[in-house]
């Protein structure tokens, strides 16, 4: 094979690898959700929230990304925003026990004790305590 053909093959192979990487990373909601979980585990909540937001922008019906985005915002003290994200998760899946538990945490911080108790009770009924 001539050197120019080899070079063209390498360029084409590189372009394919870049396209696959873009599809796997940039356009993959599961990738961004996983990154959000890793960052939250390391207490990097601002970056975790951005990753979950990215996951939701790619796939708006990603219930767990909405829930984890809300939880990251809760950890940042952004309670009203957290509540909005958690309510979106619960709109998508009203049986998400973790979402009800997290909503209870946020409502507690907002001083809405009765609503918090109702959210915790619902989480308990769904097996999350």
pLDDT digit string, tens, across residues 74-113: 999 999 999 999 999 999 999 999 999 999 999 999 999 9
Question: Model confidence at 11, in pLDDT bands (50, 70, 90)?
Answer: confident
Question: Model confidence at 25, in pLDDT bands (50, 70, 90)?
Answer: low
pLDDT given for residue 8 in this prediction:
73
All domains of the chain in start order, with CATH: 29-125 (1.25.40.10)
Does residue 13 surpass a pLDDT of 90? no
pLDDT given for residue 27 in this prediction:
83
pLDDT given for residue 22 in this prediction:
65
pLDDT given for residue 77 in this prediction:
98
Query: Of 88, 37, 36, nearest to 62 (Cα)?
Result: 88
Token pair of 123 as six digits: 């989480």
User: How many Cα atoms within 13 Å fall on the side-chain side of residue 93?
Assistant: 17
């Amino acid at each position: 094979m001539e050197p120019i053909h080899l070079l063209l093959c390498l360029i084409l192979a590189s372009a394919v690898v870049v396209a696959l990487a873009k599809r796997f990373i940039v356009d993959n909601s599961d990738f961004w959700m996983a990154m959000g979980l890793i960052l939250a585990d390391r207490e990097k909540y601002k970056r975790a929230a951005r990753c979950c937001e990215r996951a939701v922008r790619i796939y708006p019906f990603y219930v767990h990304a909405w829930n984890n985005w809300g939880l990251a915002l809760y950890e940042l003290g952004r309670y009203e925003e957290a509540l909005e994200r958690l309510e979106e998760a619960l709109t998508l899946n009203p049986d998400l026990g973790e979402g009800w538990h997290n909503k209870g945490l946020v409502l507690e911080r907002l001083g809405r004790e009765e609503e918090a108790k109702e959210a915790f009770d619902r989480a308990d009924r769904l097996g999350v305590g």
